[in-house]
Structure 1
Amino acid sequence: MKKIYTLSAVLAAFALQAQFTVTIQTPAEFKDQDAILYTLNGSKDIIVTKEQGKNNVWMFKYPNNYMGMMKVYFPSSNNTVNFISENKDVSLKLDIQNNKIKDVAYLDEANELMSKQQEGSQKKELILPALTQIKEYYKDNTDFGKALKTEIDRLSGNSGAIDASKHPFISYYNTNYSKFLSNSSNQSDQSKKVNQDEVINFIDKSGDMLETSSLLRPLLVAYLNSGGNANVTGSVDKLLDRLKVETPRGQTVLSELIDIFDAYQMDEFKNKYITLAKNLKCTITDRLASTLKSNANAELGSVFPNYKFQSATNTTAKSLHEVKADKKIIVFWSSTCSHCENELPKLLNKYNDLKGKNVQVIALSLDVDKNSYSKKIAAFPWINDTELRGWNSSYVDTYNVHATPTYFILDANNKIINKPEHVGNVLEYFNVK
């Protein structure tokens, strides 16, 4: 019995060492109760757990090793706080004003260091070029010239080497951001530019921190840009051939590329690589499966997934499918979207004509501010609804929304029959221009 007890104690101690705790503190006036912890996979947030605060403190136990970006999201107030994990306890204290995060105090060593590093990098990239230009107009022997030189030297120098053994994620992030993505890596000096083979080799050989670092998406965009618009297929095929799409890394990159092509409306390439993904004979990752499902939901001919309304205006229907009409126009928009400001009034001008054709408009907002949303919809007689969660809204992933405004036209059975690019295409479809 004693040996069994000792073994159990050892295993329990090992389990405790393999986990870390994320602690978030807020002032008493912060009204949220629920908070959600996320990790990162490429550019996708992955839900870990949901916790309720006790005395304005939230504690999340993470049971596995994890190094990378994390965030905690407060859905009721649409507040998000981002931080990193180096597989050690994380502690943050939030300063709140009007139930919104005003400032974050990083109480653990890794996040405090990362915050200082980020602040220094921003100054280096934004301020250093301006100071360098100003210096051309002042001599070094003047007081101002000397002060300029001192500041330029300070910003140009190494802000302090990071001990990779002590802070592996910060070292990884800073080193590879500086090499591949910072302004200094995009110099006019061609000899200093990173070429495609270097990017491919890095993506292929990099460890798990690539997926958790937030570097993958911008790195792929930079990679595609370096190959030029005329050689997109060649660039992608070269990368995927090296990575092998049967592997988890290859499928994550394939998923990211499909999302990039979708966001930039490069439909030819999006469809080509969706077809590649669909034809894979191996087991596919959750990440790639999610991308395929989101795209399938928004394909022409698909039944538009139902959505349960939160607090919809101008209707008694409880869900999108309960709305009865010969045709439905679905529009994803926001009160802060300049294109929406231009397009929705045109839809409003023809709304009575559309109603006469038994066409119903359902507008799902990506707003976060209730007052802004409420003021705007006061002029909209169609069905309006929102989660007030911005790009964290559930329908962003469900309907594969990458921009506002985004339009869908559905038939009476909620099948997608058209995906107009602009309001002019919507009005033209119904002959009400």
Structure 2
Amino acid sequence: MKKFILCLAISAISVAHAQFTVSLTSSDLKNGDEAYLYTLNGSKDVLSSKAVKNSSGWMFKVPASYMGMMRVYIPQGNNSINLISENKDVNVGFKMKANKISDIEYKDDSNRIMNEVQDVLRKKEVILPALYQMNEYYTTGSPFKTAMNQEIERLSQNMSYDAASHPFISYYNSNYKRFLVQDATSKANTEDDVVNFISGSSEMLESSSLLKPILISYLNNAPKATVSGSIDKLLSNLNIETARGQTVLSEFIEIFDTYEMEDLKKKYLAEATSLKCTINDRLAGTISTNKNVEMGATFQNYTFTNAFNTTAKSIYDVKADKKVILFWASTCSHCEEEIPKIIEKYAQLKAQNIQVIGLSTDADKEKYENRIKDLPWINDAEIRGWNSSYAEKYNVHATPTYFVLDKNNKIIAKPEHVGDLIKFLNLK
């Protein structure tokens, strides 16, 4: 009888589970509109709760302590508001213009300070160098030069706040500067610096949004000939039978998937699937979404939201000898290059009883509906951009993405581009 080893848990910081609330107020939306609150695990949003708008706005109740990034998603207009939590009440107001969020007012100290710090950092990176260049062209004492000098002085200073009172803001900004900002004054991080930081960091690493960019930086700085060795070094130090080790392994697999590093993805996905211990939700999700779209797998069904050019209610209801599933968007330049070539071959596709089903990652309903007027095949969209449910379900990281299914909805090809699709289907 096989023994199943229980995965080692990261030592939890002992904190009282204190409930806090996240309040959003806007007078520009109708009662009844839903919104969703997400916390963060690495680079993945985790649904925390949902709320229905009342006369004053939305209020989310968070039952457990949490320090880190949060996001409120409002399906109307595909809007999002990024926030932070320091285990204290969050209070934000905003307005809507042309169905888009504007004029955000951060009313709680944590989000107000974080927004101000981030605003100064962005301006330091983008505007400050330009101000220095422009400054020499203006006469001393002129109103514009005086104002410019004041802005240069403001942006050159570090914004002060009480780090002890704002532990997440301090954690985020200090480690962002340490690992993700490269300038003449920065000391280059060694491989061991990164390994030790990821291994020894608090639980705020997973909730900070820093993990994935730090891992990408780690890969970029690893010797190309031994990149797999650098990955193994980090994973061995973390131990992939721990929650953090599994989260990092999951992040690596998804990075390899996004950047089409197929050999590395295969190696570490195999490592993940061979684990005999309890697997955390993050890694289990990565394994599951990859399993959904591997060659020979039955493509998971999807119920249409508002399909055009069909009376079918779902992918499975579409009867054809083969189905081409196309993930695309009206704003995708590569899609605009490839879609006309499918249109050219559409008569041949129909003659062979091959149906095309387009699932769009558009967020703008008007742009989407204008584009599909020229597309002769089945199209559907949730109008939620990359928040669309099928992006996660079918492990879609970019558009266009293709799958070819047989009549039993099994995946028989995953063409990389339209040329591969045409060749696989023997279109002339």
TM-score past 0.5 threshold = yes
Which stretch shifts more, 192-201 or 391-400? 192-201
Give the residue type in structure 1 aligned to 2:45. D
Mapped to 2, the partners of 1:20 and 1:330 lie a distance apart of 43
Aligned to 1:87: 87
**Once the two structures are superposed, what CA deviation does each residue of 1:364-409 show, in whole Å capped at 9, x if it has no partner?**
0001111101110001110000000010000011100000000001
Report if aligned partners of 2:322, 2:405 keep a CA contact under 8 Å in 1.
yes
Mapped to 2, the partners of 1:228 and 1:131 lie a distance apart of 38
Aligned to 1:312: 307
Instruction: State the identity as a percent.
Output: 55
Mapped to 2, the partners of 1:258 and 1:217 lie a distance apart of 11
Mapped to 2, the partners of 1:53 and 1:399 lie a distance apart of 31
Report if aligned partners of 2:324, 2:354 keep a CA contact under 8 Å in 1.
yes
Mapped to 2, the partners of 1:310 and 1:55 lie a distance apart of 29
Aligned to 1:126: 126
Q: 1:288 aligns with which of 274, 283, 292?
A: 283
Question: SS at the partner of 2:316?
Answer: helix
Aligned to 1:65: 65
**Once the two structures are superposed, what CA deviation does each residue of 1:278-303 show, in whole Å capped at 9, x if it has no partner?**
11111110000000001111111111
Aligned to 2:100: 100
Q: How does 1:18-417 map to 2 (within 5 A)?
A: 18-30=18-30, 33-134=33-134, 151-160=151-160, 162-182=161-181, 186-187=182-183, 192-417=187-412
Q: Give how far 1:145 is off.
A: 7.7
Q: Give how far 1:154 is off.
A: 3.5
Aligned to 1:9: none
Mapped to 2, the partners of 1:255 and 1:223 lie a distance apart of 15
With a CA cutoff of 8 Å and minimum separation of 6, indicate the structure with the bigger relative contact order. Answer: 2
Report if aligned partners of 1:28, 1:55 keep a CA contact under 8 Å in 2.
no
**Once the two structures are superposed, what CA deviation does each residue of 1:53-108 show, in whole Å capped at 9, x if it has no partner?**
11141111111110001111112432111101000000011111133212211111
Question: SS at the partner of 2:23?
Answer: strand
Give the residue type in structure 1 aligned to 2:308. T
**Once the two structures are superposed, what CA deviation does each residue of 1:303-354 show, in whole Å capped at 9, x if it has no partner?**
1000001111111111101111111100000001111111111111110111
Aligned to 1:10: none
**Once the two structures are superposed, what CA deviation does each residue of 1:132-167 show, in whole Å capped at 9, x if it has no partner?**
4556x669978688876664444233222x322200
Question: SS at the partner of 1:283?
Answer: coil
Aligned to 2:415: 420
Q: Give how far 1:215 is off.
A: 0.5
Give the residue type in structure 2 aligned to 1:269. L
Aligned to 1:7: none
What is the TM-score when the length of structure 2 is the normalising length?
Answer: 0.92
What is the TM-score when the length of structure 1 is the normalising length?
Answer: 0.91
Question: SS at the partner of 1:95?
Answer: strand
378 and 411 in structure 1: CA distance in 2 versus 1, 3 angstrom threshold: same
Alignment length, in residue pairs?
413
Mapped to 2, the partners of 1:103 and 1:270 lie a distance apart of 42
Report if aligned partners of 1:31, 1:99 keep a CA contact under 8 Å in 2.
no
